[in-house]
């Protein structure tokens, strides 16, 4: 299959907030601007830095332990995440973009993709580069003068994301179809969005070691030999600037992970932690008006072993208590080889929560569903976890709200 490079006008924009969490903290506090700052899940020496300011990055401080960062710069300012602050910035960010078009897709808390095909802003004769500069100005006005973004413009989402990473911080780059050959000649395979080390090894095994070789590979080779699926065809199109990533997939599951701060082999303590994870998961399930047929429990242990098991339920799960009871059944199946260090739960096989018609003598399923909805309304009005099951008493500082990576569907 001989397919030419897509030379249409670049009308897809990728935009991301530079050093998101760190720069938002610097915007909020003038005293830490122009200084090395790291945002870490925990500020203890073993805590992991999830975002660093550009001042810290220039020193070589990126994703690493706090102790490692202090070895590089003893004066680095370490902060723990403030999720509500970042959520507010995400909403403001989105509101700015929606002034220009309604085709705005959040990709994570700090990045968006915008489709300007058919936008009246472009039809009025204004170039997308000018619009990008206006967006930069509007974001500074909305989020603060210290906040900067990177913008990439290209024929498809894949190339736009590459463009957005080219001149950080505060860059704006455009990739046209005619730029593709030169661009790929300057990149490594793992510089391409979506190509991790596992995919790189797969490409290498097929004799593909550079993005240019990837581009030149026949479609049949990619589909039949490298990826052994339709994924090879998608890559063939994607590399040439054709859009294959615009589809929006529906939700398939809801879940929560928790790294246990105080490692424990006390089964009752694990049950308490499970209850709070169930409440967080149940709230998300109900917020999106879904119910679930499947539940999963995963446990990590101090000896580096892992246990995980799922089960499909006959009755649909909606209330927190429904999820919790099924997880307790799974918990009874596992023997603890060591202290628990990690808990993962999920509900899956979901479907819209349609009204249930019950018979006169059908028991109390309607009661639990109504109670869950009433409790959610109270917590929406008076604050998260205002009304909780008794098992969650005094757990305000346990399994606290964290910043989501990837999905922002709950914002």
Catalytic residue numbers, as ranges: 111
For the record, the structure tokens of 206 come out as 């097929």
Beta bridge pairs of residue 345: 256, 297
- Angstrom distance (rounded) from CA 134 to CA 140: 10
Q: Are 82 and 17 in contact (CB under 8 A)?
A: no
77-79/37-40 β-pairing: parallel
For the record, the structure tokens of 252 come out as 């398939």
Which string of b and e fits 210-244 if b means at least 16 CB within 10 Å? Answer: ebbebbebeeebbbebbbeeebbbbbbbbbbbbbe
Taking phi over 0 as left and psi of -120 to 50 as alpha, with beta for the rest, 408 belongs to: alpha
Give the number of other CB atoms < 10 A from CB of residue 305.
Answer: 11
172-174/149-154 β-pairing: parallel
- Angstrom distance (rounded) from CA 294 to CA 291: 10
In order, the DSSP letters of 224-238 are IIISSSTHHHHHHHH
* SS3 state at 173: strand
Q: Is the peptide bond before 169 cis (omega within 30 degrees of 0)?
A: yes
- Angstrom distance (rounded) from CA 411 to CA 288: 11
């Amino acid at each position: 299959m001989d397919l030419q490079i897509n030379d249409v006008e670049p009308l897809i924009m990728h935009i991301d907030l530079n050093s998101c969490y760190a720069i938002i903290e610097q915007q909020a506090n003038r005293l830490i601007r122009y200084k090395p700052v790291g945002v870490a899940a925990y500020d203890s020496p073993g805590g992991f830095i999830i975002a660093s300011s550009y001042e810290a990055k220039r020193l070589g401080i990126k994703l690493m332990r706090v102790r490692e960062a202090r070895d590089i710069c003893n004066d680095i300012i370490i902060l723990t995440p403030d999720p509500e602050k970042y959520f507010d910035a995400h909403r403001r960010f989105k509101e700015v973009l929606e002034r220009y078009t309604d085709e705005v897709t959040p990709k994570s808390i700090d990045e968006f993709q915008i489709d300007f095909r058919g936008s009246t802003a472009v039809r009025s004769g204004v170039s997308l580069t000018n619009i990008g500069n206006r967006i930069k100005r509007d974001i500074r006005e909305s989020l603060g003068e210290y906040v900067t973004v990177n913008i990439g413009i290209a024929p498809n989402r894949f190339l736009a994301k590459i463009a957005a990473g080219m001149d950080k911080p505060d860059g704006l780059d455009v990739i046209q179809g005619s730029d593709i050959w030169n661009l790929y000649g300057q990149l490594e395979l793992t510089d391409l969005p979506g190509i991790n080390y596992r995919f790189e090894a797969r490409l290498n095994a097929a004799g593909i070691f550079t993005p240019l070789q990837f581009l030149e590979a026949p479609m049949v080779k990619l589909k039949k030999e490298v990826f052994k699926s339709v994924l090879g065809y998608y890559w063939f199109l994607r590399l040439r600037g054709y859009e294959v990533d615009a589809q929006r997939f529906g939700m398939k599951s809801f879940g929560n992970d928790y790294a246990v701060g105080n490692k424990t082999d006390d089964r009752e303590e694990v049950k308490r932690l499970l209850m709070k994870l169930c409440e967080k998961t149940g709230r998300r399930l109900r917020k999106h008006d879904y119910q679930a047929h499947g539940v999963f429990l995963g446990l990590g242990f101090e000896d580096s072993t892992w246990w995980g098991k799922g089960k499909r339920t006959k009755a649909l799960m909606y209330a927190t208590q429904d999820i919790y009871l099924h997880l307790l059944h799974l918990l009874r199946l596992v023997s603890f080889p060591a202290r628990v260090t990690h808990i993962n739960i999920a509900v899956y096989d979901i479907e819209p929560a349609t009204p249930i018609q019950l018979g006169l003598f059908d028991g109390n399923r309607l009661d639990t569903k109504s109670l869950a909805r009433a409790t959610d309304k109270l917590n929406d009005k008076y604050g998260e976890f205002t009304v909780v099951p008794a098992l969650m008493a005094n757990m305000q500082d346990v399994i606290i709200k964290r910043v989501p990576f990837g999905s922002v569907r709950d914002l």
